[in-house]
Structure 1
Amino acid sequence: MTANSAASDSAYPTPGPSTARWWQNEDWLAVLAALPILIAVAKGWSPKMPALGWSGVADAGKAFSADNFAVSGVLLALFLGISALALAASLGKKIGSFLCGAVVVFVLGWLSQWIAAYAGIKAWGLEYVVFALGLGLLWSHTLPVPEWLREAVRTEFFIKVGIVLLGATILLPEMMKAGLPGLVQAALVIPVVWYVCYFISRKLKVDDEFGVMLSTAVSICGVSAAIAACGAIQGDRKKLSYVTSIVLLCAVPMMIMMPWAVKSMGLSEAVGGAWIGGTLDTSGSVAAATEQVGKDATKVGVIVKLSQNVLIGVAAFILSIWWTLRGGKDGASKREKPSIRIIWERFPKFVIGFVIASVVFSYFVPAAVAEAASKPLKGLRELWFAAAFVCIGLETRLGELFNLGGGKPALAFLGGQIFNIAWTLILAMWLFGK
């Protein structure tokens, strides 16, 4: 562990499950932070998001207009206010340092979203989290990370707030609209591919934390699923960064090769779309790849990807229970069966917030309001996720990131992805061949 990461950890000690008060537990604090946002959005509040898109040098400066700064200023105030209020009891007199550091984290996250909004980068399916991580790493390797900035490195808190907000955009009725073939494919892809990737990870002697995040990412929907898995098992943030990097780097060549393979193999647009939607790990890359095949491919690909996305909550819930029952990363449950009290203490409470948000927005918020809320909630979720990945970069050394596991996690992911490609093709031909 580096000095920076050590300082970060000591700056915000996390009490053990048995000793933590609710106001010191990041899980409950994340739910508390997300709650006012969800209530406001459910009542029709729709925060304006900055216009960050650009396609070349000529319009690169559009994002830096007075209007955009005003909109971003409102989001900054929201980010600072919500986070500071939720963390106030644990911050104490350090709240001033946190606010100063959180401004830097927000600005770096904003810049990462602006970079990712470049048309050329969007065409490659690369997402903002890569650039958020990169900017954090750039800062930590070229500039000092003073104590006041370390106070704002609240990676797990930011991730968990984002995951609870994500729950409100996972609408269960959309799963039913996706159609039976898409649901069947998702139901058969996720557990089979997850098990195969986890099995490969174990054979390569990749630790279970890494294995869970890798398997969840390759079997469901890449970055979002990996983030949810990391939160559910309280995983190492450096490992999450590693998994995220692999997912996005792997998506680029697949996005180029898979449309070519669909045409070369003479597959129908429906089969090709189902194949691409079930294997590419980011929604952006699915859209970009299926557009190269045809309109029907795009429609089916989006349906299949949606079918996988809506199962993030189910997967996170199951993972959190399984991980708790096995005693966490040390597998303590193999030696001593945990009591109900221990299970509850170890259970990540933010998963409850995620599930409740999904159920409420699916069945207790008017459909039109829930649908309209999807876009602003996505923007707010990405704000907190960008902050989380900036924080990971700030507390990580580049050498540590790429030396994790000696390359074995990457091999496990590639092995799982190769199986995913073959298995999903078989299912796509069976379910969509007619």
Structure 2
Amino acid sequence: MMKNSKILFPQRIFPAAERKGKPVFVELLIGIGVLVLAAAVILSYYSIHRSREFLYLEKIKAAKLTLNHFARGAVLPLLEMDFLSLNSPFREVKDVDGLLYAFIVDNRNVIRAHTDPNQIGATPKIPDPVPSGRKGDPISEAVYPLSSGDRVLTLSAPVLYMQKPIARVYLGLSLDTLNKLVDEKIASLRKGLLILSLLMVLGAAGVFLFLRTRFVRLTSALPHEQPRREQGSLPSLYAPPPTHGEERAMTATQVREAPQLARKQVTILFGGIKGFREYAESREPEEVLRDLDEYFSIASRNISDQGGYIDKFVGDAVIGVFESMPFQQDHAERAVRSALAMQRMLQGVDRNENPLLRRVGIGITSGIVLSGHLASRDEKRAFVGESFKEAYLLNLMAAPGEVTLSRDVYQLIQDLVSVDPLPPLEMNEKRASWESFRLTHIRESKNYG
């Protein structure tokens, strides 16, 4: 009897239950909004912190790349006492934001190149940078204040010739300017994250209201659910999803193993532009960068198409490494095919649009190198070996549009190629003369790839 009486009494007999039930949805909506907003704030703070650190490190990394570029490009001008060419790159970077100075000091502690021409021939007056302490990192660092109050980060790297230092390159960065540039980028990021947080809250509210409306419509036709729906009973609002067929996701933290080196048989492709210095000196930097970008794009695409790995870009040169793989042991053949495909594509471009593309010579050699991670903070693999020097020498022997091969490469694919022998090259590190060949043709392989 009592059970039936509960169904017969109308809801308006219990006004307290009605008043108490109405705010439940509102309270739940506010709770979800607060949780979503808190999660968005925490995520935004973390993202801004990491982004600030990332942007700052990217600025420092770009400065170190510029420093290494100066160090590599200063070898020949220093040996030839060509101070005009030595100072040319410094004139191009003197207006870069955050760069206070850049100069080269020889072994007699005399400035030979400087962004301020008035300082050439003087003695530098800055604290000696401290080595970074990271294995394989020749760059030294020092931070000191100027009289104006700016803090300066000085980076220094040696200029090496035959593994011996002949000078040092210094780069001075204003830390205050770098932080200002980073803050400008963070400001726009902060606005975007704020808008995203508001959208997340509005989206969560919209989803909640949509689900509530659907729930009310579904339960409105069930008389025995009416009291629970009117009272705002929380158990009626939540039903756990079915567990059968549920997809489980796992996350794991990648643990970096200690740096290890492995010996590998590889083939190295070294492509460089002939007469690049004369070309660059007669054109605007924007035009040079545009032409270089097209050249690097074509070279990278052809190396990757044959399974090669882009080791690095050095000035006007690109270095590709072809390794032995489980189903592709023909690393030498892939390197040669990549070089020929690259030359065909470079020669096919209109000469008037980009004259650099028809000036590329390529050297290819094969040998044993060490492969692995040399720096604990650098996720990029590194390759070390004498074969890179041989590839560079072969590149010097190649005329524009030509591909030169070492004897090792020729012996690996002699049944596939036609070559012209080149005069033996005497090398200081080798007792005997060094054989090389000019590639003229390679036979198509139906089973390749």
TM-score category (smaller protein): under 0.3
Give the TM-score of the pair, scaled to structure 2: 0.23
Larger helix percent: 1
| Bigger RCO of structures 1 and 2 (CA < 8 A, at least 6 apart) | 1
Q: Which has the larger radius of gyration?
A: 2
Larger strand percent: 2
